[in-house]
Structures are given as C-alpha cells and as structure tokens.
C-alpha cells in the first residue's frame, strides 16, 4: 500500500512526481505484461480478453468491447462503463484517473492522456511530471484519432469530431471539432 507521500500518491493527487519510482515501475511492468497478452489474443478469444482487461482495469462494465491493440501506463486508474466500444489502436495514458462512461463509442486511434509535464524547462528536465484526471460521460462518441488532453471532462452524449484535440472541458450534448476542439452546435 502506498504511503501518503509516495510517488504514486503524488501522481494521483495531481502533484509533481517521479515516474521512475520503483513502485510505479513495477506497476507499469505488470500492466505491460497484461497488455502484451491482451494484444496477442485471437479474435475469437473474447473470454480471455475480458479476463485480462478485468485484471488490468479498476472497473470494466458488462458488454464492453475493446479491440487490440491497446496501450496504457498502469491500468488500475481506468474505469470503463457498460456497453462501451473501444476500437483498434487506442492509447489510454492513465497516470491519473480515466473514467469512461456507459455506451461510449471510441473510434480507432483515439488517445486519452492524463500525464503532462511542467512548462519550466529546469523542472521538466529534472524528471518530474504530473497528471490530471480525464472523464468521458455516458453516450459520448470520440471520432477517429481524436486526442483528449489532461484534466478534460467531456459531458454526456457529446460528439468529438475525428482528428480533434480536446484541450478544455466540453459540455453535454454538443458537437465539437477542431484543433483546439470547439463546440460548433448543440445536439
């Protein structure tokens, strides 16, 4: 268990931390082993895939489908609701919490990032980084190759256009596109 001043605790609190910490490195290696096994499963191995993802993630809802290949840092910071579909080649960098709701559609190549780095070069070059949680509401559709940046919340039923870079929170029930992503209309 992590103490209050551990690097893991700092990471989850959004504070500066050192990712090469032994506890975090061991957790990272564990997740990479599970991901390697998941990404190598046969297309017909639905039970094996679900078992591996259940071991990897904090929570995985019923009838959720995730296609390989998938990448993440730790897995234990990821919770995915029911009846969600995550298509091929997605990246979920979970240095902080990633919460994906129910009935979410995630197109191929979507990247969700919680990890980020200090703007000041001296601090950044010291190896310190930090992470902010990401939340994707129920019924959201993230278009192909969309990028969701650290600290962003996306409201329920919102559609994010392909190739968009989401740098700020998006409200519920809107269509948002572009880089940076902007709301273009209500749904």
Is residue 91 a part of any domain in this protein? yes
* CA atoms within 13 Å, Cβ hemisphere of 154: 37
Is residue 2 a part of any domain in this protein? no
Is residue 170 a part of any domain in this protein? yes
pLDDT digits (tens, 9 = 90+) for 105-146: 999 999 999 999 999 999 999 999 999 999 999 999 999 999
Q: Is 4's pLDDT higher than 70?
A: no
Q: What is the mean pLDDT of the chain?
A: 97
The secondary structure of the chain, three-state, reads: CCCCCCHHHHHHCCCCEECCCHHHHHHHHHHHHHHHHHHCCCCCCHHHHHHHHHHHCCEECCCCEECCCEEECCCCCEEECCCCEECCCEEEECCCCEEECCCCEECCCCEEECEECCCCHHHHHCCEEEECCEEECCCCEECCCCEECCCCEECCCCEECCCCEECCCECCCEEEECCCCEEEEEC
Mean pLDDT, to the nearest integer, of 153-158? 98
**Closest to 58 measured CA to CA, from 94, 83, 8:** 94
Q: Is 152's pLDDT higher than 80?
A: yes
pLDDT for res 110: 98
Is residue 172 a part of any domain in this protein? yes
Helical axes 22-39 vs 46-56, angle rounded to 10°? 170
Length of the chain equals: 187
Is residue 1 a part of any domain in this protein? no
Marked catalytic residue, from 28, 111, 117, 168: 117
For residue 150, the enclosing domain spans: 7-186
Q: Is 117 a catalytic residue?
A: yes
Q: Is the peptide bond before 149 cis (omega within 30 degrees of 0)?
A: no
pLDDT digits (tens, 9 = 90+) for 36-49: 999 999 999 999 99
Is residue 87 a part of any domain in this protein? yes
Q: What is the pTM of this model?
A: 0.96
Report the CATH number at residue 120: 2.160.10.10
CB 101 within 8 A of CB 83: no
- How many domains, in total, are found in the chain? 1
pLDDT for res 5: 83
Is residue 102 a part of any domain in this protein? yes
Mean pLDDT, to the nearest integer, of 12-16? 97
Is residue 115 a part of any domain in this protein? yes
């Amino acid at each position: 268990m992590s103490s209050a001043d551990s690097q893991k605790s700092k990471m989850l609190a959004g504070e500066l931390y050192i990712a090469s910490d032994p506890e975090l490195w061991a957790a990272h290696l564990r997740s990479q082993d599970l991901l390697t096994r998941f990404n190598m499963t046969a297309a017909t191995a639905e039970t094996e895939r679900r078992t591996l993802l259940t071991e990897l993630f904090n929570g995985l809802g019923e009838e959720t489908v995730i296609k390989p290949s998938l990448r993440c840092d730790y897995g234990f910071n990821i919770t995915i609701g029911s009846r969600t579909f995550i298509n091929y080649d997605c990246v979920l960098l979970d240095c902080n919490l990633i919460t994906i709701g129910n009935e979410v559609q995630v197109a191929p190549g979507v990247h969700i990032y919680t990890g980020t780095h200090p703007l000041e070069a001296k601090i950044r070059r010291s190896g310190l980084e930090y992470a902010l949680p990401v939340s994707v509401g129920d019924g959201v559709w993230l278009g192909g190759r969309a990028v969701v940046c650290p600290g962003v919340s996306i409201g329920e039923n919102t559609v994010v256009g392909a190739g968009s870079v989401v740098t700020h929170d998006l409200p519920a029930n809107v269509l948002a596109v572009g880089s940076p992503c902007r709301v273009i209309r209500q749904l």
